[in-house]
Amino acid sequence: MKKLILIFIAALFIGCTSTGVQVTFDDEKSNAIKAAYDGYLANDYSWAETLYSPDIAVHINNVEAIDLDANVAGLASHHELFSDISMSHPSGGNAFIQTTNYNDDTGIWSNAWFIWKGTGKVTGVTIEVPCHVAYQWNDEGQITQTWLFSDQAPLLAEVNAAQAVAE
């Protein structure tokens, strides 16, 4: 009987994680990012200082990082440039978010994929930009680095149009 219990417990651990990696969707971290997205869509960034580590490194399509304040300022500028901003899954619904616990030095990462959509306030042009964002969590449950992967060319066109009007 003791042997059987030992095998049972061992099998649970071995069977649980063939690579030690666990992927979740409706977990606390994935939901925290969903809530942050809801805040962003409402142009509210009260979540940032709770969710982000004070020394967060934010990589906006760049190996050089910006800090929390610069990131929030950039996000807020979207609402100055665009109306009707949305973030959705290509097949409908909200952004697709999953959290991966590598259970090693790689740590815990949440990954999001979505189509960012907005209508330029100057040009009236609606743009749709496929985006991927990777978020790394620390042991305190805060995000320490993010990486955005998306094409900024459509957004830059609206920035240029807005600057031309302002001049």
Partner 1 sequence: MKKIILIFITSLFIGCAPTGVQVTFDDENSNTIREHLQHYVDGDIDSMMSIIADDAEIYINSQESVSASDVRAIHELEHSIFNGISTSWSQEEGGNDIGAWVESTNYPAGPANEPASVTQAWFTWNGTSSSTGDSLSIPVHVVYSWNNENQVQTIYQFFDSINATAVIEASLAATSE
Of 72, 134, 161, 162, which lies in the binding site for partner 1, with binding defined by CB under 8 A? 134
Of 49, 90, 163, 165, which lies in the binding site for partner 1, with binding defined by CB under 8 A? 90
Nearer to partner 1, 47 or 107 (CB): 107
Q: What is the DSSP string of 16-35?
A: H-SSS-EEESSSHHHHHHHH
Q: Is 16 in the site for partner 1 (CB under 8 A)?
A: yes
Of 122, 150, 161, 162, which lies in the binding site for partner 1, with binding defined by CB under 8 A? 150
* Interaxial angle between packed helices 68-81 and 153-166, expressed in degrees from 0 to 180 and rounded to the nearest 10: 70
Report d(CA 129, CA 78) in Å as an integer.
13
Unique residue bearing structure tokens 């962003």: 40
Q: Is 59 in the site for partner 1 (CB under 8 A)?
A: yes
- Residue 35 and residue 47 in contact, taking contact as beta carbons nearer than 8 Å: yes
Report d(CA 49, CA 47) in Å as an integer.
6
Q: Which residues bind partner 1 (CB under 8 A)?
A: 4, 7-8, 11-12, 15-16, 18-19, 21-25, 59, 61-63, 90, 98, 100, 105-106, 115, 128-132, 134, 147, 149-153, 156
